[in-house]
Every structure is written in structure tokens, then in C-alpha cells.
Amino acid sequence: MDIKQQLEDFLFKMVFATIPIVLLFGLFTAATTGLSAPSVDVENELDRTETILQDIETNLPENVPPQVLGQLGVARDMQNDGRSSFENGEQMLALHMTMQAREIARRAEATISQITSQDTYIPEALLRLLEGNAEFIEELSPAMDELGTEVTRANFTAAVDMQNEAWSAFDNGDFEVAGKLAETAQNKLYQIKKAVAAEENRFDPEHVAAKLEQALELLGRAEEKIPEGAAEAMRLLNTSKEIYSESEALLMQGRSQEAVRMLEEVVSLTQRAVRLSEKRGLRSAELVETLSRTDDYLQSTQQVAEESGRGDAINILERADDMQQQAKLALNTADNAQAEKLTLEARRLAELAMRTAQEKEGINIEEVEKAVIHTDDLIADLNPQIEESGQSAAIDLIRRAEQLQAEAIAHMDRGRFKEALTTTRAAAETVRRAEKLAGLQ
């Protein structure tokens, strides 16, 4: 049976499986669905709402308007329903009920505060922002585990924590802090929504079918290209076939997200298998030509490096020369794959030496390396303490410092030493600011 016929047969079997896939996407936005457990700790949110309700109920002033008492009654009923839903295993419904109960209770509390104290000012816009965030969290919760990546889930948890901190600041009358936290949480939630929407689009039936066809065709071509004697490549190909079969089973169950990720792995492994078989078949004559081109490039780079007077460029070139000698030794022992790997690495180092030699302003590599190590140590030492401080602004800064440090290391690997030095110093300064915000200085 050819590839096209296999694909048609399988898609025919999926006719009825496609319907639940589409319906599943439609349910992602329904906050009361019980299809999957949310990323948020539902039991913790229930306890948090219970504490808020008990605090309001215990401290009720005299002559509370009936409408406020009615609001609190509704909040209490919804909270009890949420607790019952949780005990019955309906986590998404429980989260929906407790978040609704909390927002009704908060609104009642704000009304009470305005009635009991003429001096108390409750900014309505801030209250609406906080309530809007709560609705946003409800909307996104069902999709987190199905469509959220590891980064998205972490950002969602951070947004929920920030929203809770905003409410705490609101309760304490610190409206400026509450507003900043709520706005930051809202921005995070908007970004998460965009990411989730992008992920959702990846798993529509047409995309799934396209991925399935791509993987199947690639497997067919690989079987034709890879010789039976290429044992390692054949092992990868067989693994790809097994994963493909598992993805078919997942698709029939309507588990499209897992299936697509498996199909992507099939594509990656199969491509690696083909490349591996091609490398093993590399003819010695072609490899000799590759080494010869590296020799020529090393020679031209040597002249530029010496004329520049850049010691750092010369040091890099010496490492490239050593690598090239190892490549020639590997070729002499018929280890073609190793020879190819080493000569290409020598070429990469020579290119790095060339870029370094052409820089107008000299940068001491040792200075850059010391600065990078210093920033690494700084992040490693202070990151746990900043995390423990619970200060969201400080935690955001330490995350930014880690990103900058990663960029600095990438610059250094590419021979962009000035950029590496500037970036790693910026990362170190960001860590210091985070340290100060966390109250550690």
C-alpha cells in the first residue's frame, strides 16, 4: 500500500474522531468544564476564598444594607457549591464557583467600607480591574494544561500570585501598589492568552492532518534512502516508526496535542536518521577536499590575525589549528565521521578568529570570561534569596538578569566580546537592583 493510500485510510478512520477534537477546542473557553485539572491549585483557592468570607462575615458592622447581606449570601452559597464540586472531582467547576464567590464578596466588602467610613476612598476603576483579572484567570484556567507550554504555565501561576498580592494591597488600602500589581498581572494574562491562541491553532484538524501526512511521507523517503547496513540510522528510523504508531492511537482518542508533538518528534528523528546515513557514506575524496578548504581558510586567517596584532585572535586560531590536526589524524585512521566533525569545528573557530582580528577595539578575552563568571556566581548566590523574599518585582528582575546573561554567553561563543562584556555587566547590575528590591542589601 503506498503512502497516499495509507493516509487516506487513516483519515477515513478519523472521521468521527475529528468531531470530539473540534468540540474540545470549543470547550476550552468554558470555565466550568471538567475535562482537565487546572494549573491553579484549586484547593488553595477555595481556602483563600473561605478566609476572605469568614473575615468579612466576622467583622460585619451594624445596620448593613440588605442588598449587601444578599451579596454575601450569594457568595457563601457559591463557595459552598464550589467546595462540593471539588469534593466530587469537578475541579474546573469548583474553581469557577470559588472565584465568583470571592469577587462578589470583595464587591460587598468595598461597599461596606464606603458606608462605614466617609474618609475611605475605594477607586472604582481599580476594583473593576481586579474583578476583570479574576474573570480572565477563570477564562484561561481550562486551557492551561491542554495548551499551555511549561513557560506559559509558569507565567500563568505568576499572574495568579500577582493578582492575589494586588488584592492584599487593596485590602490594606495601598491602592497604588495594588494598581501596579493588577496591571502587570493583566499584561501577563493578555500575553498568555495570545500564546494559548497560537497553540490552539496548531492543533486544529487540518494542521493535524498535515503533520500526519508530512511524517508518513518522510518515513517513506527515509526507508528508500537509508541502506540496511547503516545500523545506527536504521535504529533511529525504527524508533520513529514506533512513535508514529503511538501518535495514530492518540489521534483516534482525540488527544491531538500529544499526537502532534509525537509527530514532530517523528519528523526530527527521521531527518536525523537520514543525515546520519549520509554522513556514514561520505566518500574519503570529498572529506579530503573539505579538510583542504579548512587548511586554506586557516592560512588566510593566520595572515589577518598576525597583521591585526590581536593576541586573542591568535589564541583562537591556535585552537583551530589543533582541531584541524586532530581531524587529519582521524582521517588517517578511517574515522571519517569524526574527521568531518573536527574539521568543521576548526573552521568555526577560524571564523571566530577572523571576526576577532577584524574588530577595531581590542577586548581582553580573559576580562570577558571573568565578568561572565562573576555574573554567573552572582545569580547563583542571590537567586534563591530573591525567590524566598516573595517580592514579585525583584523576582522579575532576576529573571531578566538570567536572560541577559544567556545573551552574553551567546555573544561570547560567537566572538562578539564587546557585546558579551556589555551584556554580562548589565545582567550583574540587574541582579543588584533585584537584591535591593528584595531588601537583601
Q: For residue 211, is pLDDT > 60?
A: yes
Residues 6+ apart with CB under 8 A from 298: 317, 320, 321, 324, 346, 350
Grid cell 449587601 — which residue?
68
Task: Give alpha helix (H) positions in 172-310.
Answer: 175-202, 205-225, 231-252, 256-280, 284-308
> Average pLDDT in the 397-412 region?
85
> Average pLDDT in the 318-337 region?
82
pLDDT tens digits for range 10-26: 444 443 333 333 323 33
Residues 6+ apart with CB under 8 A from 184: 162, 392
In this structure, are residues 93 and 85 in contact, taking their beta carbons and an 8 Å threshold?
A: yes
In this structure, are residues 331 and 383 in contact, taking their beta carbons and an 8 Å threshold?
A: no
> Average pLDDT in the 265-294 region?
73
**Burial class of residue 233, CB neighbours in 10 A (0-12, 13-18, 19+):** buried
Q: How confident is the model at residue 375 (pLDDT cuts 50, 70, 90)?
A: very high
pLDDT the model gives residue 8 = 45
Cα torsion for 343, 347, 353, 355, to the nearest 10°? Answer: -170
In this structure, are residues 182 and 163 in contact, taking their beta carbons and an 8 Å threshold?
A: yes
Q: For residue 214, is pLDDT > 60?
A: yes
Dihedral sign computed on CA atoms, order 253, 258, 262, 267: positive
Q: How confident is the model at residue 216 (pLDDT cuts 50, 70, 90)?
A: confident
Q: Residue 82 phi/psi, 5° resolution?
A: -65, -40
Q: How confident is the model at residue 37 (pLDDT cuts 50, 70, 90)?
A: very low
Q: For residue 3, is pLDDT > 80?
A: no
> Average pLDDT in the 345-353 region?
85
